[in-house]
Structures are given as structure tokens and as C-alpha cells.
Amino acid sequence: MKTLLLLLLLCHVSSPVKHSLKFFIAASSGIPNVPEVMASALVDDVHAGYCDTNTQIADVKLDWVKNYFDKNPEDREWFVAECFVNLPRFFKVTISLLMQVLNQREGVHILQMTEGCEWDEETGEVNGILQYGYNGEDFISLDLKTLTWIALKPEAVAIKLAWDSEEATIKRYANFLTQLCPDWLKNSIDYRNTSLLRTDPPSVSLLQKTPSSPVSCHATGFYPDRAMMFWTKDGEELHEDVDQGEILPNHDGTFQMSVDLNISSVSPEDWRRYDCVFQLSGVKEDIITKLDKAEIRTNRVPPSEFPAAAVIGVVVGLLLLLLCISGLFIWRRNNNGFRPANTSDSSPPDAASN
């Protein structure tokens, strides 16, 4: 089934011997504001990907799968089409069929499907599963040994008889569950291993807000997120006066972290005894950064470096502005509050008095 063929790319396995991939798909009818179709991919019970017809967004949970889609945009387009076109069409037709066979009228109905495979890396054994649930109850499943459907409740017998006659469809399901699913799973494991073995070293900096603030050892741009960073004194790891930060994601898929050292009780001559150590999984050599005052970055501007000329210019400008405001106030007082009265007898009478 093409729908699930590409979804297999969402797999991520954690067991070194046995690997499993399962898809849980649910379709609903007659429920307002609920997606018609929701699909999740789980590997070893770990959520790997999700999509639904409401958001129209294929949410991939694993970084290495996102990287794969970035390098293979045609597969991303196919995945999106399967999620938002083919799956809704298939489940809509199937729900309609079930309602017709079961003589049900319009109303709320939910169809669920669990499909996937298990592969034992050590023995090579493969097991497949395909089972449907309807309105919250197990309904029908495929027996891969007999290539027939098993009715899990009496109401499913009619569907079993109808689906047993579709031998070509059963063979396609069996081929997917026992051949395509394990093959895609193995290929995905190979790609995952290649991707996750990549290591990117960080850029490490020493940061400090003020001379009395803790010194922060900040690492950014590293990959993967399996890393440790700590302060040492004379080669021994410190636990006191140390504030350990969390590993945080960057926008480009790499990570960052920091660890702070309180230096309030450290004398200047002892700074050389302190080191910041960064360790990255898969990399043998540690990145060691010595506590050196000359290497610390800060936003604080020392008084000796502050632009005195600019300060003098600002002060002079403010004084000139103050003089201008004072002169304007004196001028307005002399021309308004102390204006002499007009005593001339020859002045014409006010037009309003006529």
C-alpha cells in the first residue's frame, strides 16, 4: 500500500536486535471539528511522525528524517499527498462501505487501522500485522498464514466474506507486510545510522556580564545533542559554584548549552587552574577552554574605553538647549505679560462698539 510505503521513512529504532514499525490511523465521520483522518507512526512505541486533515501539516518528529526530506523533496511531496489525499479517500470509502453492509444510517462512526511489521535483526524473522477496529471495538484482522480475514465480532462476518474474495488485494497486503515493510525498515536503519553518526563540533566562548558576574562557558553549533560540559579545577570536575544549563536547540538543527562558574571567591592568580571542558558523543578529544580574562566576551564598556568626546558633546548640547528654552521664556514674558497699554486719543473706535 503506497500510503504506508513512504511513511516507513518515519521510523526510528532503538533496539539493537528487534525493530518494529507500526502505523495507527483513525478516520471519523459525523464528528464536527475533528479531523477526518489522523495518522501516527510509532517505532518501538516511540512517536516518530503525525499528520491530520485539519492542520494539513506533516509533522516529522525526528531530526534525521527531516534531513532526509530536505535532501529528497520529491518524497516529501509524495508523503504529503498520501496523508492529505489518498488516506482520506480510502477511509471515506471504507466507512461508507461498512455503514452500508451493517445497515447503519448517518451518525458518528470511527474506523481505526493498525498496520506494520516487526523484524528481528539477529534471527531475520519477520512478522506483519493488519487489523481494523470499528466504533471502538476490534473488528477484523488479516491472517498472513492463511491469507484470509478473521472476523473479530459477528457483525464482521459479512465483511470477511466480501474481503476474502478479493485475493489480489490480500496478496498486496501480504507483500507489503512481509516484504516491503521489512525492506524499507532495514534501509531506514542504514540511513539513520549514517545520519546520526555525523558529529559537528561547537564554537566555545567565555561570556560575562559584569566583573562580579559568573563566567559562562557557552558552546553552540554542535551535533548531536549527546554532549556534556563542565568546569574543572586542576583537572578535577567541579560541582560547587557551578550552574549547569540545559541543552537547547538552534534554528539550524544544531544545539547549544552553557555552564556558569561563580568566580567571586577565585583569586586572579588562581584563574589559570580552571578549565571549561566540552565532550561530544562520538568524538574522542575534548574541547578545553582555559579561564582567561583576555578571552572573556562582555557587553560592558570599561570607563577607560568610554567615548569622552561624545559625552562632552552631549552635555554641551543639553546646555545650549537649556539656554534657548530660557531665552524663549523671557521673550514671551516681555511681549505678553508686560505689554504697555495703548493711550492714543486718535485711535479709531472698536468696530464692535458701533
Q: Which range is least confidently modeled, 214-228, 256-270, 288-302?
A: 288-302
**Across 90-94, 162-166, 304-308, which has the greatest mean pLDDT?**
162-166
Give, in order, the Cα–Cα distances in Å from 224 to each of 120, 199, 221, 252: 27, 6, 10, 12
Per-residue pLDDT, 18: 83
Which residue do the cell numbers 529528497 mark?
A: 72
**Spatial distance between the Cα atoms of 90 and 248, rounded to a whole number of angstroms:** 41
Does the structure show a pLDDT above 80 at 296? Answer: yes
Handedness of CA 96, 98, 103, 106 (dihedral sign): negative
25 SS3 class: strand
- Percentages helix, strand, coil for the chain, rounded to the nearest 5? 40, 30, 30
Alpha helices in the chain (DSSP H): 2-7, 63-71, 73-81, 87-101, 157-164, 167-175, 181-196, 308-332
What is the percent of the chain where pLDDT is above 70? 78
Give the pLDDT mean for 288-317.
Answer: 67
Instruction: Tell me what the mean pLDDT of segment 19-25 comes to.
Output: 88
Look at residue 309 and tell me whether its pLDDT is greater than 70. Answer: no
The answer, yes or no, to whether residue 13 has pLDDT greater than 60, is: no
Alpha carbon 239 to chain centroid, angstroms: 31
pLDDT at position 81: 84
Q: Count of CB atoms within 10 A of residue 299's CB?
A: 8
- φ/ψ of 116, rounded to 5, equals 170, -165
Q: What is the dihedral of CA 63, 67, 73, 74, to 10 degrees?
A: -80
Identify whether the C-beta of residue 30 lies closer than 8 Å to the C-beta of residue 106: yes
pLDDT category of residue 1 using cuts at 50, 70 and 90 = very low
Contacts of 240 (CB under 8 A, 6+ apart): none
Q: Which of 115, 89, 127 is nearest to 173 (CA)?
A: 115
50-57 mean pLDDT: 89
Q: Looking at the whole model, is its pTM more than 0.85?
A: no
CA–CA distance, 25 with 3 (Å, rounded to integer): 11
- Cα 332 from chain centre: 65
From CA 47, how far away is CA 92, in angstroms rounded?
A: 25
* Cα distance between the two ends of the chain: 104
φ, ψ (nearest 5 deg) of residue 273? -85, -5
Q: Pick the closest to residue 114 from 182, 20, 229, 217 (CA basis).
A: 20
Assess contact for 273 and 262: CB atoms under 8 A: no
Q: pLDDT tens digits, residue range 272-287?
A: 999 999 999 878 899 9
Beta pairing partners, 110 = 28
Decide which of 7 and 323 is more confident.
Answer: 323
**What is the number of other CB atoms lying within 10 angstroms of the CB of residue 18?**
14
Q: How high is the mean pLDDT of the chain?
A: 81
- Check if the beta carbon of residue 21 is closer than 8 Å to that of residue 4: no
**pLDDT tens digits, one per residue of 188-203:** 777 777 776 778 899 9
Question: Is 19 a residue whose pLDDT tops 60?
Answer: yes
pLDDT tens readout for residues 201-251: 999 999 999 988 999 999 999 988 889 999 999 999 999 999 999 999 888
| Residue 227 three-state SS | strand
pLDDT digits (tens, 9 = 90+) for 121-134: 889 999 999 999 99
Contact 254, 292 (CB under 8 A): no
SS3 state at 216: strand
Of 287, 151, 280, 274, the residue nearest 225 (C-alpha): 280
pLDDT surpasses 50 at 165: yes
pLDDT at res. 241: 92
The three-state (H, E, C) secondary structure of 89-117, written as one string = HHHHHHHHHHHHHCCCCCCCEEEEEEEEE
Least confident of 44-48, 180-184, 209-213, 229-233: 44-48
pLDDT at 340: 41
Q: Give residue 60's pLDDT band: very low, low, confident or very high (50, 70, 90).
A: confident
CB contact at 8 A, 260 and 245: yes
The domains located in the chain, with CATH, are: 2-196 (3.30.500.10), 203-297 (2.60.40.10)
